[in-house]
């Protein structure tokens, strides 16, 4: 089936007004606060704080799992959609905990841009450095927000150096502060040279009025602080640290904004930047690298699977990012890997724990396919003209553990839970091809994945297990021929992932390096991607 010319134009126009992005930050840098303020400024909530739980429990609409609520952190991800200045903004929530989890990487695969939120007192924190590197390696356009400027913090120039040195992303300040962190007067908007005075509303519950002042008056009123800020800006002009759309879209430079999410300052600048600078939903490449045109029949891929989102219904939701065409609820798509038809009767938009039936979606949007138990992470779904989108990158696991069941009579439940949580990608499961199929080694990128695993195993499947960490320090992809040799070496184990990839695990990194030197013909490749579904 081919779409009519009018329909093509409509799809292109809808894709053009979509902005799909993720906020990435270290816990406590202000991601939740900023998310709330976005909703406030977009008119999606009337008062910020309304989406937070009461009784001091810190959680936004997108936190829903019991464990998240207990700890006030966000482990799973969902999608907030709102309109702003005639644009449809899809905010993909990333887990906001100290550990990296594979979930975050998957969410970034579905985003077209990211906002990096840094606490001005802290800068880039080591635990989240990896996340920023992923954006950089994927050439994802990144906007930077220096948050908490209302409080004492570090010299912002130092933070700029840090961003460039550690992530290799060139910051290009769009707004620049007048005053120091803690004595914040406002920002200079470099696009027109105006001064935007810092005003605060009570905890920023309502939209702040913006006072714009011309540079002449600002110089008189702000004195030395103004002079210092303008001198710094002259320095930026001199070294070309100026907003540059092309290098931003290529993921090389990052437009930088300064503000205070708590008091609403700078929130509108950032939201405007999403609309004005961040890219619209682009045509996405297939596995062979050819772009699937936006106006082609509907297609997309599953980037996340979550079961039991609604404990009352024990259901299973696949998050589907639309890449081309017009999605309408009830349409029958083809499931790429199996070639089978897939009915989208139960499609929903996901707004935290709430869900509404979704009728229509366009490129950039995310649809929650409810009760989609046949879908796996990375699967392509398409209408008419077949397409296969690339597998979602997974990262080399760094932690390994075996599960010890506390009550052996719960064995069946354990196996059911293991199978489900493996499918959802909560942890990677490595099996010994010749060994016990149900006592596998669990592998993860971050420790939180293990915690989520045992928590869900106990709460959703009634199987309490204890995890015992294994001593492996490194994992490499290998092949059957090399595996023959590797299996004979002490301290090395070869296991298979569900997609058939063989992984060699090493207790000792030096041993790995020595083996690589001694046997250059053995396959010992770093693990970058998995689950290829070509």
Interacting residues toward ligand G4P by CB under 6 A: 25, 27-33, 58, 96, 147-148, 150-151, 260-262
Phi, psi of 525 (to 5 degrees): -95, 145
Q: Where are the beta strands (DSSP E) in 275-395?
A: 284-285, 291-292, 299-307, 316-324, 327-328, 332-335, 340-343, 347-351, 354-357, 360-361, 366-370, 380-382
Residue pair 229/188 in contact (Cβ under 8 Å)? The answer is yes
**SS3 category, 19:** strand
Residue pair 126/154 in contact (Cβ under 8 Å)? The answer is no
Least Cβ distance, residue 153 to ligand G4P (angstroms): 10
Nearest to ligand G4P of 63, 424 (CB atom)? 63
Nearest to ligand G4P of 260, 376 (CB atom)? 260
Q: Exposed, middle or buried, 229 (CB in 10 Å: 0-12/13-18/19+)?
A: buried
Least Cβ distance, residue 260 to ligand G4P (angstroms): 4
Least Cβ distance, residue 204 to ligand G4P (angstroms): 8
Least Cβ distance, residue 156 to ligand G4P (angstroms): 14
Both tokens of residue 386?
């077949």
Least Cβ distance, residue 98 to ligand G4P (angstroms): 10
Q: Exposed, middle or buried, 287 (CB in 10 Å: 0-12/13-18/19+)?
A: middle
Least Cβ distance, residue 412 to ligand G4P (angstroms): 38
Least Cβ distance, residue 347 to ligand G4P (angstroms): 29
Nearest to ligand G4P of 52, 138 (CB atom)? 52
Q: How far apart are CA 28 and CA 97, in angstroms?
A: 9
Nearest to ligand G4P of 58, 485 (CB atom)? 58
Least Cβ distance, residue 518 to ligand G4P (angstroms): 47
Question: How many angstroms separate the Cα of 111 from the Cα of each of 307, 310, 502?
Answer: 22, 25, 30
The beta-carbon contacts of 283-291 under 8 Å, at least 24 apart in sequence, are 283/323, 283/324, 284/323, 284/324, 284/389, 285/389, 285/390, 286/387, 286/388, 286/389, 286/390, 287/388, 287/389, 287/390, 287/391, 287/534
Nearest to ligand G4P of 148, 497 (CB atom)? 148
Nearest to ligand G4P of 25, 172 (CB atom)? 25
Nearest to ligand G4P of 125, 499 (CB atom)? 125
Nearest to ligand G4P of 74, 428 (CB atom)? 74
Burial string for 446-477 (b: 16+ CB within 10 Å, else e) reads: bbbbbbbbbbbbbbbbebbbebeebebbbbbb
User: What's the half-sphere exposure (Cβ side, CA atoms, 13 Å) at 53?
Assistant: 19
Both tokens of residue 515?
């083996």
Least Cβ distance, residue 26 to ligand G4P (angstroms): 7
| N residues, the chain | 534
Nearest to ligand G4P of 96, 186 (CB atom)? 96
Q: Name the residue with tokens 């931003």.
A: 248
Least Cβ distance, residue 392 to ligand G4P (angstroms): 24
Residue pair 441/495 in contact (Cβ under 8 Å)? The answer is yes
Phi, psi of 103 (to 5 degrees): -55, -40
Least Cβ distance, residue 42 to ligand G4P (angstroms): 17
Nearest to ligand G4P of 21, 472 (CB atom)? 21
Burial string for 372-406 (b: 16+ CB within 10 Å, else e) reads: beebbbbbbbbbeeebbbbbbbbbbbebbbebebe
Nearest to ligand G4P of 144, 482 (CB atom)? 144
């Amino acid at each position: 089936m081919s779409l009519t010319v009018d329909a093509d134009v409509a799809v292109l126009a809808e894709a053009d007004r979509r902005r799909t992005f993720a906020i990435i930050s270290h816990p406590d840098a202000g991601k939740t606060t900023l998310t709330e303020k976005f909703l406030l400024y977009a008119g999606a909530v009337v008062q910020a704080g309304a989406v937070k739980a009461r009784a001091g429990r810190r959680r936004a609409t997108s936190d829903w799992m019991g464990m998240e609520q207990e700890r006030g952190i966000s482990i799973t991800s969902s999608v907030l959609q709102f309109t702003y200045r005639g644009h449809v903004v899809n905010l993909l929530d990333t887990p906001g905990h100290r550990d990296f989890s594979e979930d975050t990487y998957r969410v970034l695969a579905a985003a077209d841009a990211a906002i990096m939120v840094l606490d001005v007192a802290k800068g880039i924190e080591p635990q989240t450095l990896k996340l920023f590197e992923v954006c950089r390696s994927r050439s994802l356009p990144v906007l930077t927000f220096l948050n908490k400027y209302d409080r004492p913090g570090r010299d912002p120039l130092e933070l700029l150096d840090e961003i460039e040195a550690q992530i290799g992303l060139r910051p290009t300040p769009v707004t620049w502060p007048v005053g120091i962190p803690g004595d914040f007067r406002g920002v200079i908007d470099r696009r027109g040279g105006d001064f935007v005075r810092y005003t605060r509303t009570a905890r920023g519950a309502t939209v702040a009025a913006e006072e714009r002042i011309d540079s002449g008056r600002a110089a008189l009123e702000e004195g030395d602080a103004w002079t210092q800020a303008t001198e710094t800006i002259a320095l930026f002009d001199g070294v070309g640290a100026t907003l540059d759309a092309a290098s931003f879209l290529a993921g090389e430079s990052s437009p930088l904004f300064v503000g205070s999410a708590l008091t609403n300052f700078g929130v509108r600048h950032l939201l405007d930047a999403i609309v004005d600078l961040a890219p619209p939903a682009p045509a996405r490449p297939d596995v062979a690298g050819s772009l699937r045109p936006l106006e082609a029949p509907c297609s997309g891929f599953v980037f996340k699977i979550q079961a039991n989102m609604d404990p009352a219904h024990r259901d299973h939701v696949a998050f589907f990012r639309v890449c081309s065409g017009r999605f309408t609820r009830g349409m029958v798509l083809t499931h790429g890997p199996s070639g089978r038809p897939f009915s989208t009767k139960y499609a929903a938009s996901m707004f935290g724990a709430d869900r509404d039936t979704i009728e229509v979606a366009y490129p950039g949007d995310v649809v929650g396919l409810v009760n989609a138990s046949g879908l796996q992470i990375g699967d392509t779904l398409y209408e008419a003209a077949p397409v296969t989108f690339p597998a979602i990158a997974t990262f080399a696991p760094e932690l390994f553990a075996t599960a010890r069941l506390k009550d052996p009579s719960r064995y069946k439940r354990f196996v059911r839970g293991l199978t489900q949580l493996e499918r959802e990608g909560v942890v990677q499961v490595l099996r010994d091809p010749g060994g016990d199929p149900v006592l596998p080694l669990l592998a993860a990128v971050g420790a939180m994945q293990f915690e989520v695993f045992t928590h869900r195993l106990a709460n959703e499947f009634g199987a309490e297990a204890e995890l015992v960490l294994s001593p492996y320090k490194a994992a490499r992809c290998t092949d059957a021929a090399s595996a023959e040799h590797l299996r004979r070496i002490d301290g090395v184990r070869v296991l298979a992932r569900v997609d058939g990839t063989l992984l060699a695990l090493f207790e000792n990194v030096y041993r790995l390096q020595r083996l690589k030197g001694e046997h250059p013909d053995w396959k010992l490749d770093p693990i970058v991607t998995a689950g290829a579904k070509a």
